[in-house]
């Protein structure tokens, strides 16, 4: 079926046959004139028909068709109108991506040049296709793209992906496809909706692997159980990852992401791998990266509880253009041969929060970075804002330890940050002072800054701590304290004790009460702590439901039927110098 609007012809559910005979269906938008046109391809699990989704409209297909492109939006395998009854993240995207690019290039009105674009999952499908080196693919534009489906941080599981994403985005269509014409369809859909409405109870279920709603998951999310079974980065994950494969990519990428985006770490790795390893000089030299202050599915000027100004909005990027036009400029250059200015700026463009300005850079991380430890101090009473915790560039000497009790039945709740929990869990920068009233949050704050301090680059915390438990978690959060007392999260991270040696190393429990060294990855940021502000570091043991709870019993978190409290000790003295390593930029 086709339909025509002024200047554009649309065709719906156009079939493409994959190498194994599966039929994937796409909607096509093309100019209402005779001729051959370059193709812009998007492959999505979120329904090609649902263009009302905010994150689906990073580029308007109607405007792109009016600008002389054939735009193809395809449902990936096992989603919506495409063949398959069970969806597995990324499993089929290598071959299906290659086959679809070559199919698209062969269509009657195509000129043989293909570009791929998208957001989130469907920003990742271009990478999988590019790895396969289809001859007609010329460039990609991924906005917030993953490496794979390994969604553990420091050994803790990202519940916003493994539960919230599965239930909200995959559940209804997955059950409809699996139970079509079955009397079980309506009861199972109602059970799914009830659990979505009470998702906090789902997050708290024990044992986690026995969550009732996920027993419907073999209809829409079989990957739930597989992810729980593979907390290490083992062969299961390596079979469906992009890590170590950028040396096969022959085409340049324009990478967009956000400082508060769930996939920030993946995008930074995409960029550095492409610049160092891509298969062609053109791909290495022309790949670019833009990082705004955005969250995942929150690419506006108002992010969390802060407004970064109109120049941060993708509707008016840097007061120059909108995101659709950026896409068209990129693809005009690579698919049409238009010599515009898209490649004239530095390869890295950062939004520097605090100053709230865009700045060009030549590399990531920045070569002029001065990595500087910022040490924690107290007289043993750093609990909450009422405590005596301090941050200083001076290392500690002989100071008493700080203590707190971690009760996984009363975890520190998620408040802001890089997640995609339901919208009532605020994302991005959110005032943390309510959480800082808790006695299980250690709070360390610098003196009032006498000058601006810029922190741009990767962040990490070296923590020396002991626990009464054989396994436990520790969290760290960098915070910008404003003169009025509001305290906004900048970056955070978590480490699970049994996985302290890294995701490739066999886990091992800790000896209760022994001092252990933990390195906590806080990802990265670009933020100017302004004169008159203060820098703060929070240490605790939970951030729930962003990450699953550690039961403190030594059991695997998803198998645990009971929870136990843990007595935590944080050290800061001449031997154990707990600190955050700040990437300071000279100003």
In this structure, the answer to whether residues 146 and 161 fall within a common structural domain is no
Distance CA 392, CA 60 (A): 49
Which of 307, 331, 361 corresponds to the end of one domain? 361
Structural domains in the chain (count): 3
In this structure, the answer to whether residues 269 and 400 fall within a common structural domain is no
Q: How far is CA 390 from CA 217, 306, 371, 542, 567, in A?
A: 47, 26, 20, 21, 22
In this structure, the answer to whether residues 264 and 397 fall within a common structural domain is no
Q: Which stretches of 32-122 are assigned E, i.e. beta strand?
A: 37-44, 70-75, 110-119
CA angle 417, 418, 419 (to 5 degrees): 105
Which DSSP symbol is given to 224? H
Distance CA 270, CA 225 (A): 27
Distance CA 214, CA 170 (A): 12
Backbone angles phi, psi at 568, to 5 degrees: -105, 140
Distance CA 224, CA 205 (A): 15
Q: Which CATH number belongs to the domain containing residue 543 in this structure?
A: 2.60.120.260
In this structure, the answer to whether residues 421 and 356 fall within a common structural domain is no
Neighbouring CB atoms inside 10 A of 158's CB total 24
Residue 55: the pLDDT is 41
Query: Residue 161: which of 20, 234, 261 has the closest Cα?
Result: 261
Residue 54: the pLDDT is 40
Which of 311, 335, 361 corresponds to the end of one domain? 361
In this structure, the answer to whether residues 264 and 390 fall within a common structural domain is no
In this structure, the answer to whether residues 196 and 314 fall within a common structural domain is no
How would you class 587 by CB atoms within 10 Å of its CB: exposed for 0-12, middle for 13-18, buried for 19 or more? exposed
What are the tens digits of pLDDT across the range 247-294?
999 999 999 999 999 999 999 999 999 999 999 999 999 999 999 999
Are 80 and 49 contacting, i.e. CB atoms less than 8 angstroms apart?
yes
Mean pLDDT by runs of 10 across the 587 residues of the chain is 70 97 97 96 91 60 95 95 92 97 98 97 97 98 96 95 86 86 89 89 93 83 90 93 97 98 97 98 98 91 94 78 91 97 95 97 98 98 98 96 98 97 92 98 98 98 98 98 98 98 95 98 98 98 97 97 98 98 97
In this structure, the answer to whether residues 493 and 523 fall within a common structural domain is yes
Residue 220: the pLDDT is 81
In this structure, the answer to whether residues 374 and 271 fall within a common structural domain is no
Backbone angles phi, psi at 185, to 5 degrees: -60, -55
Query: Residue 423: which of 575, 304, 503, 514 has the closest Cα?
Result: 304
Distance CA 106, CA 362 (A): 38
pTM of the model: 0.96
Cβ within 8 Å of residue 107, ≥6 positions away: 28, 39, 70
Interior/surface letters 333-349, b for 16+ CB within 10 angstroms, e for the rest: bbbbeeeeebbeeebbb
Phi-psi region of 337 (alpha: psi -120 to 50; beta: other; left: phi over 0): left
Residue with tokens 């998951």: 217
- In the chain, the N- to C-terminal Cα span, in Å, equals 60
In this structure, the answer to whether residues 187 and 245 fall within a common structural domain is no
Distance CA 133, CA 490 (A): 38
Residue with tokens 């005009």: 332
Interior/surface letters 310-331, b for 16+ CB within 10 angstroms, e for the rest: ebbbbeebeeeebbbbbbbbbb
Distance CA 61, CA 313 (A): 20
Which of 230, 265, 288 corresponds to the end of one domain? 230
Please spell the DSSP secondary structure of 340-358, one letter per residue. -STTTS-SEEEEEBTTTEE
Structural domain boundaries, residue 576: 370-584
Q: Which CATH number belongs to the domain containing residue 318 in this structure?
A: 3.40.50.1820
In this structure, the answer to whether residues 118 and 259 fall within a common structural domain is yes
Phi-psi region of 416 (alpha: psi -120 to 50; beta: other; left: phi over 0): left
In this structure, the answer to whether residues 58 and 95 fall within a common structural domain is yes
In this structure, the answer to whether residues 505 and 375 fall within a common structural domain is yes
Distance CA 157, CA 404 (A): 23
Active site residues: 120, 261, 296
Residue 267: the pLDDT is 98
Residue 171: the pLDDT is 87
Phi-psi region of 578 (alpha: psi -120 to 50; beta: other; left: phi over 0): beta
Distance CA 127, CA 119 (A): 12
Torsion of CA 302, 307, 310, 311, to 10 degrees: -100
What are the tens digits of pLDDT across the range 370-412?
999 999 999 999 999 999 999 999 999 999 999 999 999 999 9
Residue 217: the pLDDT is 76
CA angle 523, 504, 88 (to 5 degrees): 80
Are 327 and 59 contacting, i.e. CB atoms less than 8 angstroms apart?
yes
Interior/surface letters 27-60, b for 16+ CB within 10 angstroms, e for the rest: bbbbbeeeeebbbbbbbbbbbbeeeeeebbebbb
The 3-state secondary structure of 249-300, one letter per residue: CCCCEEEEEEEECCCHHHHHHHHHHHHHHCCCHHHHHHCEEEEEEEECCECC
């Amino acid at each position: 079926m086709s339909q025509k609007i002024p200047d554009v012809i649309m065709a719906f559910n156009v079939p493409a046959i994959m190498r194994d005979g599966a039929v994937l269906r796409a909607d096509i938008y093309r100019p209402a004139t005779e001729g051959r046109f370059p193709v812009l391809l998007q492959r999505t699990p979120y329904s090609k028909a649902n263009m009302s989704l905010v994150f689906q409209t990073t580029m308007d297909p109607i405007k792109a068709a009016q600008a002389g492109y054939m735009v193809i939006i395809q449902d990936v395998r096992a989603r919506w109108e495409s063949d398959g009854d069970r969806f597995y993240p990324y499993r089929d995207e290598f071959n299906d991506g290659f086959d679809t690019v070559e199919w698209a290039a062969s269509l009657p009105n195509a000129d043989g040049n293909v570009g791929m674009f998208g957001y989130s999952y469907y920003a990742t499908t271009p990478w999988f296709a590019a790895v396969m080196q289809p001859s007609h693919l010329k460039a990609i534009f991924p906005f917030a793209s993953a490496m794979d489906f390994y969604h553990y941080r420091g050994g803790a599981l990202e519940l916003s992906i493994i539960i919230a994403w599965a239930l909200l985005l995959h559940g209804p269509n997955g059950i409809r496809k699996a139970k079509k014409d079955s009397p079980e369809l309506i009861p199972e859909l109602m059970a799914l909706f009830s659990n979505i409405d009470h998702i906090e109870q789902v997050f708290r279920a024990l044992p986690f692997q026995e969550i009732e709603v996920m027993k419907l998951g073999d209809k829409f999310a079989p990957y739930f159980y597989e992810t729980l079974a593979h907390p290490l980065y083992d062969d299961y994950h390596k079979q469906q990852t992009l890590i170590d494969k950028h040396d096969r990519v022959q085409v340049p990428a324009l990478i967009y992401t956000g400082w508060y985006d769930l996939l920030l770490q993946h995008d930074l790795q995409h960029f550095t791998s492409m610049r160092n390893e891509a298969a062609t000089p053109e791909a290495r030299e022309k790949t670019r990266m833009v990082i705004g202050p955005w969250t995942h599915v929150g690419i506006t000027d108002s992010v969390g509880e802060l407004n970064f100004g109109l120049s941060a909005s993708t509707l008016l990027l840097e007061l120059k253009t909108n995101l659709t036009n950026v896409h068209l400029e990129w693809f005009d250059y690579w698919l049409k041969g238009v010599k515009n200015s898209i490649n004239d700026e530095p390869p890295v463009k950062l939004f520097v929060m605090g100053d709230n300005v865009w700045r060009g850079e030549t590399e990531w991380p920045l070569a002029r970075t001065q990595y500087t430890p910022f040490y924690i101090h107290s007289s043993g009473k750093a609990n909450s804002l009422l405590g005596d915790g301090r941050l200083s560039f001076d290392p500690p000497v002989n100071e008493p330890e700080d203590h707190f009790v971690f009760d996984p039945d009363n975890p520190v709740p998620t408040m802001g940050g890089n997640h995609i929990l339901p919208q009532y869990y605020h994302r991005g920068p959110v005032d943390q002072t309510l959480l800082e009233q808790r006695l299980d949050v250690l709070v360390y704050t610098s003196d009032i800054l006498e000058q601006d301090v810029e922190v741009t680059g990767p962040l990490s915390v070296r923590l020396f701590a002991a626990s009464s438990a054989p396994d436990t978690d520790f969290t760290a959060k960098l915070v910008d304290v404003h003169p009025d007392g509001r305290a906004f999260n900048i970056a955070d991270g978590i480490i699970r004790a049994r996985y302290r040696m890294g995701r490739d190393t066999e886990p091992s429990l800790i000896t209760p009460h022994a001092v252990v060294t933990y390195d906590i990855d806080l990802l990265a940021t670009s933020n100017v702590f302004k004169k008159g502000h203060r820098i703060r570091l929070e240490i605790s043991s939970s951030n729930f439901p962003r990450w699953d709870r550690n039961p403190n019993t030594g059991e695997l978190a998803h198998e645990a039927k009971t929870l136990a409290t843990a007595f935590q000790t944080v050290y800061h003295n001449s031997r154990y110098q707990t600190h955050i390593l700040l990437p300071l930029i000279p100003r």
